[in-house]
Amino acid sequence: MAALGLSYTVISSRTESTLTDSLKFYTLLGFEKVVGEDNGHWLRLPSSSPDTTAMVLKLVVNTQASERQALAKDQDWSLQDRQMVLPIQDLQGVQRVLEAQGIGFQTTAKAVVVQDPNYHVIVLQQQEQQDTSKDGLMKRRKKIGVLTSGGDASGMNACVRSVVLYGISKGCDVYAVYEGYQGNRGIQVDGECVLGVVVDGSLVDGGDYIRKMDWRSVTGYLSIGGTSIGTARCMPFKTREGRLQAAENLIKNGIDSLIVCGGDGSLTGADLFRSEWDGLVRELRGADRITQEEATTFKHLTIVGLVGSIDNDMSSTDITIGAVTSLHRICEAVDSVDTTALSHSRAFVIEVMGRHCGWLALMAGIATGADFVFIPEQPPSEDDWETAMCTVARRHRDLGKRKTIIIVAEGALDRHLKPIKVDHIKDVLTDRLGLDTRVTILGHTQRGGSPCAFDRILGTVQSIAAVDAVLASTPETPSPMIGMNNNKVTTKPLMDAVRLTHQVAEAIESQNFEKAMALRDPQFLDELKVFNETTILYDNSILLPAHQQLRIAILHIGAPAGGMNSATRAAVRYSLNRGHTIYGVTNGFTGLAHGSFEKLDWMGVDGWTTCGGSYLGTNRAVPGKDVDMGMIAYQLQKNNIQALMLVGGFEAYVSLVELEKVRSHYPSLCIPISLIPATVSNNVPGTDFSLGCDTSLNVIVSSCDAIVQSAQSSRRRVFVVEVQGGRSGFLAVEGGLAVGACAIYIPEEGIHLPRLQGDVNFLKSLYDTDDPQKSEGRVILRTEGVSKTYTTQVISEILEDEGGARFDSRTAVLGHIQQGNTPSPLDRIRASRLATHSIDFFEEMTRTALDLAHSQQKAPPLELCKNEESVAVIGLCGVEVHARPVKELLPMTDMKNRKPLDEWWHRDRSLVDTMAGRSYHSCKE
Ligand code: ADP
């Protein structure tokens, strides 16, 4: 275009009317008409910055132009050949305009993808911010530093990976600060930090502590325990001089935001650092250690805290990164000790970590069915706790138990703050009970090992929130801490969380144990109750009055899932402590119709908590459909069953619905009926998590780790891994996040050719950018029921053919191993909580009728309760347990697809793609 002296792009339309539409379309994007020499249709995208190349288009009619097709909604538009990439200043504004005009578009982390009226793919990218801020300075690209500090925790690597990948995909530069605060400060000489000056990302004395990360720097991080960028306890950072040096190092590296992953010490330090920042910058400027320009540019420091701690000792978050992996290690160890204790009829006293926090000890106690736990927040109520402990141990032994397991947090105390030590417990058990007692101190094994699925997902989603918090921060916002509350990622003031955490230790010191417990997560008290009442055989202290004691039946339905036995054990033991009589029904509703009731006792369920599968036996028969409803009602009446507990998946949910429907016909069904959701598919309405789904995710994680290792040991290979889930994509989505899958296929989206084509292109682009010297293994997760045509084998064959010399492909069908052998600690704990809450639910639903009958000196009625609330799913809403009436859940259920209409995990779907680098790789220039 001679008049403007600029090069231009020709946009050809096949008709006049499409050209008119195109003119309108490009005007909506911000183009303006300009007059060219030839009186043609010229458009120009105005640019405020002189160094930004103006985009010029010439729109013409060309009947010979190739005809294009509109892209389908479910195709990934960002992977198609694009006509052009347009820098847009107000991308969100343009998005609003497109929405208002009803023009379809897709978004990626960095761009909006749209089709023009000629079906050209146009990528709209946020223009690099070249404008000036209020104080007249050039706005800079965000430079985020990420560091891990204090005690290492599994899942810290997931955090670093996620900050790096998500930060880069958001257009930031990300730097890893190695060795925690020490890396901020200088190099180490003789174990002490010396002051070093960082120049261009390295330390003068040869140290290289602050390194810029790229997409490939964090390959493989997800599966590695501990922290690959190192951590340290840096004493000098506790001094102002140390923090002054850290500030200088950050400024010299151009880092304006710091994401710190550590425990409460590290986050206390981070908070202090930010509060002092202003003064530190002035002092550095005063000493001429930084220039005036640097002092102005780095006037504000953004700090975001991620809680990496195995102790789960931070207030304001339900769970910390690394705690669940540590619990895995502890449970593996206790399960192993258990068998030797059983063989030799020994007692074991096991010390676990937790100086001020008994979370690990208590959860391990619940998960392994230990006989006793000692935690700092709740010392034994008796001064003579030794006698109380021996009484319980003796009582359990008298029942026929051959083993005694006592778990002690390292910071356990008695009411007078005297430490409770493992050796003393051992002496007490040996001397008073004559037990052959051994002490096992688990020590650092608790920190190690590959992170479990939970910590990988937690680290990933929290770090994404941390980067978002960095981008949203202003000088006025207090430093945030990323937490997790009721299964939702939260952002709370770091300072408040640190203050509350310190108050727990203070409360313990001042012997205010009630306050210490109250300051812990709300479910902690509930968990303590669950432990005590399902593990310790009580001396009638929680026994109900005789007229309130029930006859309860429990049965398993559907496929086996980790935690079914744990739930049964907890229900039995808690029931016995309350005075109920409890029956196990063998083989689900088929067994019930045949009257297969078996009375369960304390020792009959000993050891069940650690066992997968279903000891009662389970099948898919549904009452009213596969089993005669009349027979079920008859057997319940004949056996005088007053409450029914179902443990199972969607078939169990359907059973609940069917039983509720016919209550008016069968008086014996007018009893409280509960469902404890248990299925790997996690598709039961009324709960965030079903029993078995965590076990299954961990099987997927460990299998995929092995698969990737095998793949990359020899060649560039893509594994298509088939996971279970029926018509629910839960396992593929959450598993995909946990293993870093590069694609997932889920029933909610289906599979189509264009999608496959896009994935092939994506994989090619990934392998093209890989280090040619390395063979990279990659994983795609496919839910079993996603497509009849595109089977796991077919997808793999397509990839094999299309991959050519770049990569080959194999399949792995995980099948029934996903039901797991040993249930994961989380499944065991969830099972125990849901089971005890289910018994509480039965008591609550029957109390009025039983009390009335008792006051009238009558026998309990057959119809104990008819209200809708008395048929319910006992489920988890985050960490809280709720009874949700089935009638209330029905409108929220997609019966055809056997799942809830709304599922929380859909929010993680797009994160799988983001972490795989879809938008990053497709939008990279
Ligand atoms: P964690 O973060 O796991 O609780 P620490 O308590 O050992 O571990 O703290 C880790 C590091 O955080 C310390 O070595 C120190 O560098 C820094 N830190 C801890 N407490 C403070 C504090 N009060 N002031 C400044 N820095 C601190």
Amino acid at 252: K
**Residue 924: what pLDDT?**
43
**Residue 409: what pLDDT?**
97
Amino acid at 770: D
User: Where is average pLDDT lowest: 338-347, 357-366, 731-740, 897-906?
Assistant: 338-347
Domain 140-322+451-496 fold is: Rossmann fold (3.40.50)
Higher local confidence (pLDDT), 816 or 52: 816
Pick the CATH number of 697-821 from 3.50.50.60, 3.40.50.460, 3.40.640.10, 3.30.565.10: 3.40.50.460
**Residue 101: what pLDDT?**
87
**Residue 425: what pLDDT?**
97
Residue whose CA lies nearest to ligand 1 atom number 8: 150
Tell me if 266 CB under 6 Å of ligand 1.
yes
**Residue 373: what pLDDT?**
96
Examine the pLDDT at 517 and tell me if it is beyond 90. Answer: no
pTM of the predicted protein model: 0.84
**Residue 476: what pLDDT?**
84
State what percent of residues in the chain have pLDDT above 70.
93
Q: What is the pLDDT of residues 3-46, one digit of tens each?
A: 444 567 788 899 999 999 999 999 888 888 887 667 788 888 87
**Residue 565: what pLDDT?**
97
User: Where is average pLDDT lowest: 100-114, 602-616, 672-686, 884-898?
Assistant: 100-114
Pick the CATH number of 537-690+823-894 from 3.40.50.2000, 3.40.50.450, 3.40.50.2300, 3.20.20.70: 3.40.50.450
Question: What is the DSSP pairing of strand 55-61 with strand 9-13?
Answer: parallel
Measured on CA atoms in the order 589, 591, 597, 598, is the torsion positive or negative? Answer: negative
* Residues 85, 86, 90: CA angle, nearest 5 degrees: 140
Q: What is the pLDDT of residues 455-511, one digit of tens each?
A: 999 999 999 999 999 999 888 888 999 999 999 999 999 999 999 999 988 998 899
Q: Calculate how far, in angstroms, residue 506's C-alpha sits from the geometric centre of ligand 1.
A: 18
Q: What is the pLDDT of residues 302-361, one digit of tens each?
A: 999 999 999 999 989 999 999 999 999 999 999 998 888 788 889 999 999 998 899 999
Q: Within a 10 A sphere around the Cβ of 93, how many other Cβ atoms?
A: 11
- Tokens representing residue 642 in the block: 């007053």
Residues 756-772, mean pLDDT to the nearest whole number: 86
Tell me if 233 CB under 6 Å of ligand 1.
yes
Find out whether 10 and 41 touch, Cβ atoms under 8 Å.
no
Band of the pLDDT at 522, cuts 50, 70, 90? confident
- Residue recorded with tokens 């016919």: 662
**Residue 55: what pLDDT?**
73
125 annotated as belonging to a binding site for a ligand: no
β-strand partners of 677: 648
β-strand partners of 211: 176
Examine the pLDDT at 651 and tell me if it is beyond 50. Answer: yes
**Residue 49: what pLDDT?**
43
Q: Calculate how far, in angstroms, residue 513's C-alpha sits from the geometric centre of ligand 1.
A: 25
Buried b (16+ CB within 10 A) or exposed e, 890-924: eeebeeebbbbeebebeebbebbbbbbbbbbbbbe
647 φψ region: left (φ > 0), alpha (ψ -120 to 50), beta (else): beta
Q: Compute the radius of gyration of the chain from its Cα atoms.
A: 31
Examine the pLDDT at 550 and tell me if it is beyond 60. Answer: yes
Please tell me the CATH code under which domain 9-126 is placed: 3.10.180.10
Tell me if 820 CB under 6 Å of ligand 1.
no
Looking at the chain, which residues constitute the CATH 3.40.50.460 domain(s)? 324-446, 697-821
Band of the pLDDT at 923, cuts 50, 70, 90? very low
Q: Calculate how far, in angstroms, residue 236's C-alpha sits from the geometric centre of ligand 1.
A: 10
Examine the pLDDT at 816 and tell me if it is beyond 90. Answer: no
The whole-angstrom separation of Cα 577 and Cα 573 is 6
Residue whose CA lies nearest to ligand 1 atom number 26: 269
The best mutation among 177, 181, 238, 240 to test binding of ligand 1, ranked by most ligand atoms within 8 Å of the C-beta, falls on 238
β-strand partners of 623: 627
**Residue 85: what pLDDT?**
78
- Tokens representing residue 873 in the block: 């799913």
β-strand partners of 656: none
683 annotated as belonging to a binding site for a ligand: yes
Examine the pLDDT at 383 and tell me if it is beyond 60. Answer: yes
3-state secondary structure of 372: strand
Residues 61-72, mean pLDDT to the nearest whole number: 83
Q: What does residue 308 show for φ and ψ, rounded to 5 degrees?
A: -105, 105
254 annotated as belonging to a binding site for a ligand: no
**Which atom of ligand 1 is the closest one to the Cα of 308?**
3
Distances (CA, A) of 275 to 69, 140, 278, 301, 473: 57, 23, 7, 9, 15
**Residue 64: what pLDDT?**
79
Tell me if 698 CB under 6 Å of ligand 1.
no
Q: What is the pLDDT of residues 708-718, one digit of tens each?
A: 888 777 778 99
State what percent of residues in the chain have pLDDT above 90.
68
**Residue 232: what pLDDT?**
80
Q: What is the pLDDT of residues 261-300, one digit of tens each?
A: 999 899 999 999 999 999 999 999 999 999 999 999 999 9
The whole-angstrom separation of Cα 772 and Cα 849 is 75
The whole-angstrom separation of Cα 471 and Cα 174 is 13
Write down the mean pLDDT value for the chain.
89
**Residue 56: what pLDDT?**
79
Q: Calculate how far, in angstroms, residue 188's C-alpha sits from the geometric centre of ligand 1.
A: 17
Residues 829-834, mean pLDDT to the nearest whole number: 97
Which one of the listed residues 271, 311, 313, 759 is annotated catalytic?
311
821 annotated as belonging to a binding site for a ligand: no
Tell how many helices (H) and how many strands (E) occur in the chain. 27, 37
Examine the pLDDT at 196 and tell me if it is beyond 80. Answer: no
The whole-angstrom separation of Cα 433 and Cα 411 is 25
3-state secondary structure of 43: strand
Q: What is the pLDDT of residues 166-180, one digit of tens each?
A: 999 888 999 999 888
496 part of the active site: no
329 annotated as belonging to a binding site for a ligand: no
Looking at the chain, which residues constitute the CATH 3.40.50.450 domain(s)? 140-322+451-496, 537-690+823-894
Q: Calculate how far, in angstroms, residue 307's C-alpha sits from the geometric centre of ligand 1.
A: 13
**Residue 365: what pLDDT?**
97
Helices (H), 345-421: 359-368, 385-398
- Tokens representing residue 541 in the block: 């202290």
Tell me if 149 CB under 6 Å of ligand 1.
yes
Give me the half-sphere count of Cα atoms (radius 13 Å) on the Cβ side of residue 667.
7
Tell me if 502 CB under 6 Å of ligand 1.
no
Q: What does residue 673 show for φ and ψ, rounded to 5 degrees?
A: -125, 130
Buried b (16+ CB within 10 A) or exposed e, 143-166: bbbbbbbbbbbbbbbbbbbbbbbb
Pick the CATH number of 324-446 from 3.30.70.141, 1.10.287.110, 3.60.15.10, 3.40.50.460: 3.40.50.460
Buried b (16+ CB within 10 A) or exposed e, 804-841: eeebbbbbbbbeeebbbebbbbbbbbbbbbbbbbbbeb
